[in-house]
Structure 1
Amino acid sequence: MTEQTPAVPLITGTTKLFGVIAHPSAHVRAPMVFNERFVAEQRDHLMIPIDATPASLVTVMDGLRAMENFGGLTITIPHKVPIAQMCDELGEAARVCGAVNAVRFGEDGRLYGDIFDGAGFVAGLALKGHDIAGKRVLMMGAGGAARAIAVALCQADVGEIAIANRTRDKAQNLVDAMVQGAGYTQAHVLDNMAEAALEAARDVDVIINTTSLGLHAGDALPVALGTVRPDTLIADIIMVPERTEWLALAEDKGLPTHYGRHMLDCQLELIGRFIGALD
């Protein structure tokens, strides 16, 4: 059997370009996802990988801004923070995070940026039928994804967010940024990640792991599940492995779970709309 050649967009003189910018760029997957969608929907679009070193980033961004047929970018390591600093206007989550994972070049010449990890996570919850308005949340971690998720949870009217992080100062910095930068007061810091988180887990509606715990076999659990209520939703943002040991344990206990892939799927849709690649 002859292997089928994957469909690629037809390039014309009117093709609108989009990109994913990284360094290195070999690991990026956005072009495959978006170009497949462009072909299926017969869009005159093309997404390309852009490998830009930190030293060349300003030059590359100036060049892209000058292109009349360039729409916008998805952004990954190591450019999320420096490109945020180049933006003329940032969305609320990006202001709190100090980072972006998508930008678009406006017709007015301005650069608009935002970060969609949190919006994608909340959209994924809604997609799977989880209403979080008014709910009490325990969030493990206070890194980049956690910052975006915390903002999105507040935007979705969550009742309370208890944040546990290995370094308390980092969690406090997130809470301060949410209060001072966006006026959100739902979040507070737990003083001790292990003991306080274990106690908080007894009476929350949702527990979210935003740490790297679970990426490798044998990792410690983000928080033990022995005392959680039987209706507590256990959510992870790790993509690989899809079913972390923590999620597997939760399912063995009969607890409801939510997988990281839903955040990614919904985030790509939101990014596509923001940069003008999708309707």
Structure 2
Amino acid sequence: MTGGNPISGTTRLYVVLGDPVAQVQSPGLLNPLFARLGLDAVLVPVHARPRDFDQVFGGLRCVGNIDGIFVTVPHKVAARGLADRCSPMVDITGSANALRREADGSWYAENFDGVGFVAGLVGAGCDPAGLRVALVGAGGAGSAIAAALLAAGAARLSVCDPDTAKLAGLLERLDPHWPGRTTTSTAPDLDGADVVVNATPLGLRPEDPLPLQPRLLPPGAVVADIIMKPRETRLLREAAALGHRVHYGMHMLDGQVDSYRAFFGLP
């Protein structure tokens, strides 16, 4: 059902691409929104493995009744390269998580992960302005969150990722806009951090290792995870047991809804 009506030949389509897709929460958030707005539209998950992503994306962009493509792990960097045009935020972060079809049939890419994460953080009572933040993961979502945290006034940002080339590329894109406020390392640098963020996929599966050691967290640090399912990852569970305030991944998606409405021209 879309907007209270059955799916039909007039239904407009939105898809979310990922590998895996069992964890995606956007259909449960946006399909009820379409219904409340009375829109004949539906968002469906599409499982696209990395080796097939270019082919899947290329096919979808040719489908005449698809108006939007959402992108989740691990395709956000690849999606940026396949867009016809990109926002300044996409150029800074090197990744995209939403694309819309323009009137001329081209595809325009934006990244709302960072602004959504910061909006969720502020909404939960943790404004990053003036704080020291440790970020684990320099992939598509991590890069967007890094830029948004700096734009929101974070005093210091340490980013860790085992991929040194990825770190160097991110630092090269961030420093012209926020010079001297970011450091990078291949292992988590938690020293003095007020907020610690896991922006890696570690925690999606029960057998995943921890992205960082909770026993090394600074006293009083807020611990955030961008994983939405499971809601309580092992990292958040162990951090909470040590007395840390935790911040759940769903806040990041909640913080993006208004941005999506404006981006796709929804009422």
TM-score bracket, normalised by the shorter chain, equals 0.7 to 0.9
Q: What is the CA distance between 1:21 and its match in structure 2?
A: 5.0
Letter in 2 for 1:237: I
Residues 218 and 149 from structure 1, CA distance in 2 versus in 1: closer, same or farther, beyond 3 angstroms? closer
157-166 vs 36-45, greater mean Cα deviation: 36-45
Deviation track 1:27-76 (CA, whole Å, cap 9, x = no partner) reads 56544532222222323444456688633643542443xx6xx5433234
Equivalent pairs counted in the alignment come to 261
Identity over aligned pairs, percent: 30
Structure 1 residues 50 and 168, CA gap change in structure 2 (3 angstroms): closer
Match for 1:234 among 211, 223, 228?
223
Does structure 2 retain, via aligned residues, the 8 Å contact 1:138–1:204?
yes
Q: Please tell me whether Structure 1 or Structure 2 has the larger radius of gyration of its CA atoms.
A: 1
Aligned match of 2:14: 19
- Structure 1 residues 152 and 228, CA, compared in 2 at 3 Å: closer, same or farther? same
- Are the counterparts in 2 of residues 9 and 35 from structure 1 also a CA contact under 8 Å? no
Deviations 1:170-220 (A, max 9, x none): 32221112225x455421113x515xx2xxx24121111122333425723
Structure 1: any 5+ residue segments left out of the alignment? 1-5
* Structure 2 CA distance for partners of 1:257 and 1:110, relative to 1, 3 Å: same
State the shift of 1:25 in Å: 9.5
CA separation of 1:193 and 1:228: change in aligned 2, threshold 3 A = same
What does residue 255 of structure 2 align with?
266
Corresponding residue number in structure 2 for 1:154: 150
Asked if the contact 1:21–1:50 (Cα under 8 Å) also holds between the matched residues in 2, the reply is: yes
SS in 1 for 2:252: helix
Higher mean Cα deviation, 216-225 or 132-141? 216-225
Matched residues in 2 for 1:7 and 1:107: separation?
23
Which is richer in helix?
Answer: 1
Report the secondary structure of 2:168's partner residue: helix
1:176 is aligned to 2:166? no
Is residue 219 of structure 1 aligned with residue 209 of structure 2?
A: yes
Computed over aligned residues only, the root mean square deviation of the Cα atoms, in angstroms, reads 3.3
Runs of 4 or more above 6 Å deviation: 11-14, 23-26
1:124 equivalent among 114, 120, 124: 120
Partner residue, 1:34: 30
TM-score (norm: length of structure 2): 0.80
**Which consecutive unaligned segments of at least 5 residues does structure 2 have?**
none
Which whole-Å CA distance do the structure 1 matches of 2:55 and 2:203 have between them? 34
2:130 is the counterpart of 1:134: yes
Match of 1:105 in 2: 101
User: What corresponds to 2:237 in structure 1?
Assistant: 248
